[in-house]
Structures are given as C-alpha cells and as structure tokens.
Structure 1
Amino acid sequence: SLRTEFVLFASQDGANIRSLCRHYGISPATGYKWLKRRAEEGVSGLQDRSRAPHHSPNRSPDDITDLLRMAHARHERW
C-alpha cells in the first residue's frame, strides 16, 4: 500500500519527510503519525482504524433504543 511505501522511504537515513508527504499527498502530521505507529506496532500499525468514538457519554441506553426500534417497526409512518 501507499502507507507502507511511504514509511519505507521515510525510514531511510537522510529522508526528507515533508517532501515525501507532499509527494504522497498527505499532511506532515499524518506522515509522522504513520512513522510512529510503524515503530510502535510494526506493519499492523499501518492498517485502517475505526473512526467511531471510543466513548459517547450522551448516547441513549440500549433498552431505550430497542423500544424505539420496536415502536418504529409497528408504526412505520410515525
């Protein structure tokens, strides 16, 4: 993938990280993030990650959501 290719080039001695970021069309923050993940987690650190929040304090409880879904199934026009 392009991430792996970027990290391989950026990991070489004397590599210009910002120039490589421009070449690959990514921000320097993203480039450095990928390099850090590769160093900490190996190749698996370059995989896509979920963008879902880890915590949603205002989320409705599951039992209320289930009740709303049942009501919607019974009365689809509501």
Structure 2
Amino acid sequence: MSETAEVTVYWRPGCMYCMRLRATLRLHGLRPAMRNIWQDPEAAAFVRSVADGNETVPTVVIDGVAHVNPAPRLVVDALRRS
C-alpha cells in the first residue's frame, strides 16, 4: 500500500522550464500545490536554500525532498502515486 506523494512546485512567471512543467501537469490533469517565488518571499528563500543561493525554478519538493529543475516525468510519476 502506498500513499499519495506530497508535491509542491516552486515557480515564477516567464520561466520556460516552469511553463513546460505546468503544461505537462495540465496535460495529465494533475494539480500540485504551486508557489510563485516572486509573490511569496518565504518560497523564494526556500528555493535559494536548496539551489546554492540561486532562485532556480522550477524547484519541486516531493515528500520532503527538493529537486531543482527536475524532469517533468519525475513530478508526474510522484503525483500519480496512490
């Protein structure tokens, strides 16, 4: 028996990698928690803490583990876990 993964996507407007990830998730009908680092100072600080001081997005947290610019497939697979 497995549980649904907890997934949070940190993103910002204009980021092509974020757009690619969001489009892939929409295509699969998946809706993780989304945090815009330009509107959420705590989210931006978190991303900097796991990305060597940079605001590299998308950064995705899956079950408490941060993934900086992960392959969309990794995120899709995590969200499909049930």
Query: Into which bin does the TM-score normalised by the smaller protein fall?
Result: under 0.3
Greater helix content: 1
Greater strand content: 2
State which structure, 1 or 2, has the greater radius of gyration over its C-alpha atoms: 1
Greater RCO, CA 8 A, separation 6+: 2
TM-score norm. by structure 2 comes to 0.23
TM-score norm. by structure 1 comes to 0.24
